[in-house]
Every structure is written in structure tokens, then in C-alpha cells.
């Protein structure tokens, strides 16, 4: 839990998200420029964009994070493994993979476990790290706890709250999502072993939301609001923000 953090350090915890279906190659290139300007951890992208991003972050410390089976996690394990391997071999140093939510809700834990294990093995075996996306909006606490245990068992690098696209049908027929909530971040940090880090993603649009995630134990933040967050951090306090 961090009581204070500099704007520069906060930027270094951000995966700058360029995942909306409407993001074009030009928007991806612009996102790379923003990522370099602020010194974020990675640019989080759709797998096809790896070459574009690699070319446009060359010479910087910004990494490449590619999403796998995004956003619904419905691919077969074999396809997830192949997609992850392909992304890493083309230059992604980090992989964010969505679990099979239906298998989680059906308590098919052997299948969920074997899938996480298989994807992590191919990612780590090729020198990258894996973040497992839970999509908490769809889950009960018991599912989240079990997923935390599996992430620990298979020694994945990060457990991640959400895709940002896990929309749940409401009573009025509209769809909404909550993303990285306080209760879920607390639950994940309590039940993941210390060596499994937490990535908060979904609904983090301003500095206060980013700082809340840090205080709750997240060490990586997924957001498309990087510029707004870091510019506010710079204004609020010259060197340290709380």
C-alpha cells in the first residue's frame, strides 16, 4: 500500500490502453507518442498492432502489452496459447489474457486452471509475463478468490480486475460495468499471494481513482485516461501526490 507517489512513478505504473474497437493505426501511433512523453510502463494494444507499436516506441523504455482472447475470453485454450506465443514472438513483453468466464461461472476449475497454466508456460517460456484478466463484474466473490488461488498456484505475474468491456445487463435493459472497484481490489490483494501483483483496470479515469487503486495494493493501472491522470498529478503537487 502506497501512501504517496510521484507523478513520474505513477506514470511508470500505467498500461496506456488503446483497445477500443474504433482505435485506428493513426490513433495507435499517437498513443505511442503519448506513452513515450509520459514514460508509462506499456502500451496495451490489440495483437495486430504489435509491429506498428514496436516501430513507434523504439528507443524508449515503454513496453508492449498485447491482449489475448479479448474481451470475452471465449477462444479455446489451444488458440489462446497460440495467440499468446505469436504475440510474444512478435515483440510483446507482456500478455493480458481473459479467462473463460463461462467456465469460471460453471466452476469448471480443472479447465480454468489448465488453461492459465498452459498460457503462462508459453508466455514465460518465451521471456514475457502474463496478466490474467478475471472480468470481476460477472463474478461472485468465491469465483474471484478461486482465481486468485490459481494465479498463485501457476505463478502468474499479475491478476487483473477487468477488460473495461465487461458490460452487465441492468434491470432497465441497459448495459453497464463497474470495473476496478474498491471491494474487488481489496479481495484480490487479500487472496493473491504477495508474488502475484494486481492490475486495476476498468473505470479508472482520473487521478483520485488511480491513487485509490494504488492505496488498495495495485501496482499496475490500465487506463486510456493517462494524459488526464498525469497532468492532474503534476498540478496537484510538484513532486509527491497523495
The catalytically annotated residue of 80, 96, 103, 131 is: 96
> 149: exposed, middle or buried (C-beta count within 10 Å: 0-12, 13-18, 19+)?
middle
CA 207 to chain centre: 18
Catalytic residue flag (residue 155): no
Catalytic residue flag (residue 117): no
Phi, psi of 220 (to 5 degrees): -140, 145
Catalytic residue flag (residue 36): no
Smallest Cα–Cα separation from 55: which of 78, 25, 19, 84?
A: 25
Q: State the helix-helix crossing angle for 141-153 and 182-191, rounded to 10 degrees.
A: 40
Smallest Cα–Cα separation from 164: which of 143, 133, 193, 132?
A: 133
Cα 107 to Cα 57: distance, rounded to the nearest angstrom: 41
The residue written with cell numbers 477487468 in the block is 162
Residues tagged active-site: 96, 160, 199
Amino acid at each position: 500500500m502506497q501512501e504517496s507517489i510521484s507523478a513520474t512513478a505513477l506514470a511508470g505504473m500505467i498500461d496506456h490502453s488503446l483497445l477500443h474497437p474504433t482505435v485506428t493505426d493513426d490513433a495507435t501511433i499517437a498513443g505511442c507518442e503519448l506513452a513515450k512523453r509520459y514514460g508509462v510502463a506499456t502500451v496495451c494494444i490489440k495483437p495486430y498492432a504489435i509491429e506498428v507499436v514496436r516501430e513507434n516506441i523504439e528507443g524508449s523504455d515503454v513496453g508492449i502489452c498485447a491482449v489475448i482472447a479479448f474481451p470475452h475470453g471465449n477462444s479455446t485454450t489451444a488458440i489462446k496459447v497460440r495467440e499468446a506465443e505469436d504475440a510474444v514472438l512478435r515483440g510483446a513483453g507482456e500478455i493480458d489474457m481473459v479467462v473463460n468466464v463461462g467456465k469460471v461461472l460453471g466452476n469448471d476449475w480443472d479447465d480454468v486452471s489448465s488453461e492459465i497454466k498452459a498460457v503462462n508456460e508459453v508466455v514465460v517460456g518465451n521471456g514475457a509475463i502474463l496478466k490474467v484478466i478475471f472480468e470481476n463484474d460477472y463474478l461472485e466473490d468465491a469465483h474471484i478468490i478461486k482465481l486468485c488461488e490459481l494465479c498463485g498456484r501457476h505463478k502468474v505475474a499479475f491478476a487483473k480486475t477487468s477488460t473495461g468491456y465487461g458490460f452487465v445487463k441492468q434491470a432497465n435493459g441497459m448495459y453497464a460495468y463497474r470495473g476496478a472497484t474498491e471491494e474487488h481490489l481489496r479481495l484480490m490483494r487479500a487472496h493473491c499471494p504477495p508474488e502475484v501483483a494486481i492490475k486495476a483496470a476498468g473505470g479508472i479515469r482520473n487521478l483520485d481513482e488511480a491513487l485509490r487503486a494504488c492505496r488498495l495494493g495495485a501496482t499496475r493501472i490500465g487506463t486510456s485516461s493517462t494524459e488526464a491522470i498525469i497532468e492532474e498529478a503534476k498540478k496537484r503537487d510538484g513532486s509527491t501526490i497523495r
